[in-house]
Amino acid sequence: MLPFCHLTLKAKKPLPPGYPQILETLGDHLRKRRLDLKLLQKEVAEIIGVDETTIYYWENNRVEPSLLYIPDVIKFLGYIPFKTTTDSFREQIILYRRLHGLTQKKLAQLLGVDFTTIGHWERGEHWPQQHLLDKLISLFTYQMSSLRQSGPRLGRVRKENP
């Protein structure tokens, strides 16, 4: 350039290859967050507690994270990457399990019921007895207060006809 020309060109740096433009899957959310933080898949794997290959599979939507890792994925992302607002009692049970990485069997142990009972509730085939409903509502209430701090809230509990 000529010594008397003081021109500075400014432009946005191009996004890295593979940067998701639309966040449709959990893998898209993971890849975007990792690239925003300028981390390697290996580093994310160490943070979440899985193998590097697992992060690769998740980001490329070859497999979904198992329930066990959903809480760690949410913690890494810093937000919940799926819908959390529902009036459906069935969906609230599923959402609670998902956010806490619980299988039907684990939730059943917490509530002191058979795991098939949880499946019946989630499919809307049965409605819990009052004492179990009270336990579930207290779990959901605790969940709602923690979600208020980190994101969207759950709706109210509504009884559904099976």
Res 146 pLDDT > 80: no
Q: Does residue 4 lie within any of the structural domains? A: no
| Same structural domain, 62 and 105 | no
Q: Looking at residue 142, what is its pLDDT?
A: 66
Q: Does residue 135 lie within any of the structural domains? A: yes
d(CA 72, CA 55): 12
Residue 121: what are its φ and ψ, rounded to 5°?
A: -65, -45
Q: What CATH number does residue 120 fall under?
A: 1.10.260.40
Q: Looking at residue 145, what is its pLDDT?
A: 56
Q: Does residue 53 lie within any of the structural domains? A: yes
- Domain hosting 101: range is 89-150
CA atoms within 13 A on the CB side of 51: 3
Domain count, the chain: 2
Q: Looking at residue 86, what is its pLDDT?
A: 82
Read off the pLDDT of residues 51-109 as tens digits, 9 standing for 90 and up.
Answer: 999 999 999 999 999 999 999 999 999 999 988 888 888 998 999 999 999 999 999 99
Q: Does residue 141 lie within any of the structural domains? A: yes
Q: Looking at residue 72, what is its pLDDT?
A: 94
| Same structural domain, 141 and 95 | yes
Burial (Cβ within 10 Å: 0-12, 13-18, ≥19) of residue 148: exposed
CA angle centred on 76, ends 71 and 78, rounded to 5°: 90
pTM: 0.73
d(CA 74, CA 84): 13
d(CA 99, CA 62): 21
Q: Does residue 78 lie within any of the structural domains? A: no
d(CA 16, CA 149): 32
Burial (Cβ within 10 Å: 0-12, 13-18, ≥19) of residue 130: exposed
d(CA 44, CA 112): 36
d(CA 143, CA 100): 10
Contact 55, 45 (CB under 8 A): yes
Residue ending a domain, choose from 66, 98, 123 = 66
